Amino acid sequence: MAKVSLLLFSLFIIVASAIINGSEAVEKVGIYELKKGDLSVKFTNWGATIVSVFLPDKYGKMGDIVLGYDSVNDYKNDTSYIGSVVGRVANRIGGAQFTLNGVHYKLIRNEGKNMLHGGPVGFSDVVWKVNKYKKDGYAPSIVFAYDSYDGEEGFPGALRVTVTYTLYPGNRLTVRMKAKALNKATPVNLAQHTYWNLGNHNSGDILSEQVQIFASHYTPVDSQLIPTGKFATVKGTPYDFLKPHTVGSRINKLENGYDINYVIDGADGKLKKAAVVKDKKSGRVMELFTNQAGVQFYTANFLKDVRGKGGYVYESHGALCLETQAFPDSVNHPNFPSVIVYPGKEYKHVMVFKFSISS
């Protein structure tokens, strides 16, 4: 899962070169902050990444509930996609290849013979342009943009992508991801890969956090975590979170932990509640809504000796990810909803995180 190292950064600001529509553009990489009420979120335009999310606990004490690093340089060297937007196609593509409109495309492999999260240099490893930065008002927001060129990591067609982060009253963080195919049909499946620990990023594992996922089915995978193309019921399996369960209650029945795509009940392209996470010790609650058909539940199984913020070392199960998405490897499974975006059409992906406190 290692990613390709690119250019060295300075601590917080560098000047990086990006190729946009065949011409070179210079974009600074920095840290940006939005605040609304009790919610404070920091971002970097390296990978359109969420750097920190500060919220009070039930005692009023502020804490950072996402894993991350102290410097932009550390994000550049990250191999776990911490906090970033991943694409052009999130999750795995079996054999790093697919056929579209009679043309066979071979992609750049970065996980054995497969592609993971867009390849060695996916959207998490590029500099995004800051299109708009509104710090004040009813809904503070920031817009990141990236122009992906035809052939990038093997994908067909130029793609114009934007990610908008907005804070709303009531401790709500909204993520809107859009993409337009400019000249060729192409697969698109973006995901936001933040690692959440509602007890605080440095509070240890998340095995005692309570999770509810509104999905009666999941997409089974093979030994390489590639979907088989089938659907399976969660009933009678460790994957059943239709009622709240702690993460650790059945995790020992799985080889490494959770890393599976759920089929959200009633998904129809409109906002639906996908999951709820509760941390009893801090009292923090996170509700997740999305317009996507799937959500990947991942319990940071492969984190090992990752030195994060303040020197704290992150280990396996030190956080959880809830990555709303289209189904993994959809390009190779005709029975899965299509992820192909045609010129003149727009991909739209919305996530809403609503934070609250329970006693």
Q: Under 8 Å CB-to-CB from 113, ≥6 apart: which residues?
A: 95, 96, 224
Using only the alpha carbons of the chain, give its radius of gyration. 19
Q: Is 218 annotated as a binding residue?
A: no
Separation of alpha carbons 313 and 85, rounded Å: 23
24 is known as an active-site residue: no
Q: Is 284 annotated as a binding residue?
A: no
Q: Is 92 annotated as a binding residue?
A: yes
Separation of alpha carbons 83 and 258, rounded Å: 18
Residue 154 DSSP label: G
Q: Is 259 annotated as a binding residue?
A: yes
Among residues 27, 152, 153, 323, the one annotated as catalytic is: 323
323 is known as an active-site residue: yes
Burial 315-347 (b: 16+ CB within 10 A, else e): ebbbbbbbbbbbbbbbbbbeebeebbbeeeeeb
Q: Is 91 annotated as a binding residue?
A: yes
Four-residue CA torsion sign, 241, 246, 247, 250: negative
Q: Which residue has the tokens 């594992």?
A: 205
Q: Is 74 annotated as a binding residue?
A: no
Q: Are 193 and 84 in contact (CB under 8 A)?
A: yes
Q: Are 278 and 65 in contact (CB under 8 A)?
A: no
Q: Under 8 Å CB-to-CB from 21, ≥6 apart: which residues?
A: 147, 149, 158
Among residues 111, 152, 153, 193, the one annotated as catalytic is: 193
Positions at the binding site for beta-D-galactose? 91-92, 193-195, 259
Binding residues: 91-92, 193-195, 259
List residues with catalytic annotation: 193, 323
